[in-house]
A and B are shown apart, each in its own frame.
Chain A
């Protein structure tokens, strides 16, 4: 595979687990003006906060909203390079089918080069099977042309096989999807976006036949979010490399929370029960307000108490940096709370994988059974806030107190602010 493709695929699929959580936000390009289309800007921002790995947009929206995805930790941009009218095929439906059409049609809407210029990490195109021989051949030709063009410029091509039309039945859909998945790979797909075949075994076979990362679709909006997540769990069990959720995210009241739940399933290996059992309140971060700090160290005592059940100063995951009185400069604070900023250097330093990032809360978590007491995390911390518990031979890390940091709670000068996390911090 060409280096450009490999690099861009890594922007989509997390290098740590090879999986991706993508959100499809390209519905306005092909269907009616529903609220998820109207409120796209807000939805994209929420999806980013939720920690999605990639967001799929139309070319036009990528021009307008692509800026929302700037920054190294932002979701990768996927660009829809074709257009189809499937959502409008059939009878009129006042909710989402204002202008019905009779025949399924699909056209190229741009070039891979256009997507690359927009900063895309991949293009996504459809491949329809089951609607007739000529239409399928046309689809193959179009997909192959996209794959070749994208390949030349090092841009991954994600093909989305869709089994639709009069030739598709409940009995043959799994086999058709498997055939289409392999055919898509044969002509040049670097990853697939495909509907679930409704059972683990057939989907496992599809994944094996493909040989490239397979992301399963969320499909139509599920009545219950939990149903959609159960399907995700099944798909992951069958070998899926992630999900591409559209309406099941964009049409919900809280897209950020839904994305975080999906991320927990996909990246953290949480079960559906876990996802709902754990508090999925907004992710937070701490910010020192040095001008308010008096250097009282109550925050350290509170942290020590939270960590060890006893008051003390020696084993806390924060410290207060106090300058000598003779170095006082007017307008500059004398004391500054030094707090974990989730930079992740301790996680990178931990060779035993004892220190991990909790996808749900965003905080660090220490697996004490894995920790060998090497103290590399302590040494790696640039802020010198990873403490050391000599008695237990374990590091003391900031776990954000399960979303209610004691340091901030007990600081009556509000020198430690608790803010919503801006985005998923990647370690």
Chain B
């Protein structure tokens, strides 16, 4: 875990693995140019196994971010605007913890898709559990990327579903969690329960919108271990600037500057 946590026990993570399902999204067409930007600024970068192996020679090593390997694939993010919208949400295993370790990863990242049918949920949990066990055997941390998005999820049960997901994953053996911010009350409850670091998944607006920045800082103050940015950070036109700002936010340098 120390490979992608700063000395302040916080971490700024960038996710590039969505290209495995969505193809070359804006800003990420030229992976050789875009991904190293994330490695310069972040503490951890989530990559698919193939991309990590391909791009490894371009990475900065110990002066840059640690690579984290996504071990599964899903079409869940292919919405109606995508060229091939998902009609049925599916997922597939693309690597294991051992393969991630062989690739030099500092951790494996597993996706938990909550809110779909029972069978799919149990498959998700079963897969995560296998990766937990495998990671535990080889001392590789496993992060769980929690997505609440199925038809069973609504505004009324969002926070509760996040609490349930957190509980199941912590019990299962997750070493860290990635999740959306569930609101102050539920986050406090999750913090109280969860013994593992929690990274908040946010949009790139978090660095440009002072209100969102303040909210992020407050959540970090209340125990969040950091921030994860995804594809919109690459699409904004100035990913280098966004990453630098986000890093400052997470590691405290910008706190005094905020209005």
Contact = CB atoms under 8 A, between A and B. Distances in A.
B83 A175 contact: yes
A164 interface: no
**Which residue among B29, B30, B50, B74 has the maximum number of chain A CB atoms within 10 Å of its CB?**
B50
A7 to B, nearest CB: 15
A182 B24 contact: yes
Given A176-B84, A179-B83, A141 B94 contact: yes
Interface in B120-171: none
Contact of B54 (A136, A144, A179, A185): A185
Nearest to A179: B23
A172 B81 CA distance: 12
Contact of B87 (A2, A133, A184): A133
Interface residues of A, number: 39
User: Contact size class for B?
Assistant: 35 or more
Given A140-B92, A176-B83, A188-B53, A209 B29 contact: yes
Contacts of B92: 137-138, 140-141, 144
Contacts of B55: 211
A216 interface: no
B30 A186 contact: no
Contact of B23 (A137, A140, A209): A209
**Which residue among A178, A179, A208 has the maximum number of chain B CB atoms within 10 Å of its CB?**
A179
Contacts of A138: 92
Contacts of A182: 19-20, 23-24
- Determine the main DSSP class of B at the interface with A: mixed
B49 interface: yes
A30 interface: no
A1 interface: yes
Contacts of A211: 30-32, 54-55
A148 interface: yes
A129 interface: yes
A182 to B, nearest CB: 4
A183 interface: yes
B90 interface: yes
A151 interface: yes
A212 B75 CA distance: 23
A330 to B, nearest CB: 63
A280 B84 CA distance: 46
B2 to A, nearest CB: 27
A256 B51 CA distance: 37
B188 interface: no
Interface string B37-74: 00000000000111101111100000000000000011
Interface in B187-241: none
A77 interface: no
A167 B86 CA distance: 11
Interface of A: 1-2, 129-130, 132-134, 136-138, 140-141, 144, 147-148, 151-152, 167, 172, 175-176, 178-190, 205, 208-209, 211-212
18 contacts: A133-B90, A140-B73, A141-B92, A144-B93, A147-B50, A176-B83, A178-B24, A179-B22, A182-B24, A185-B31, A187-B49, A187-B73, A188-B48, A188-B49, A205-B24, A208-B30, A209-B29, A211-B30
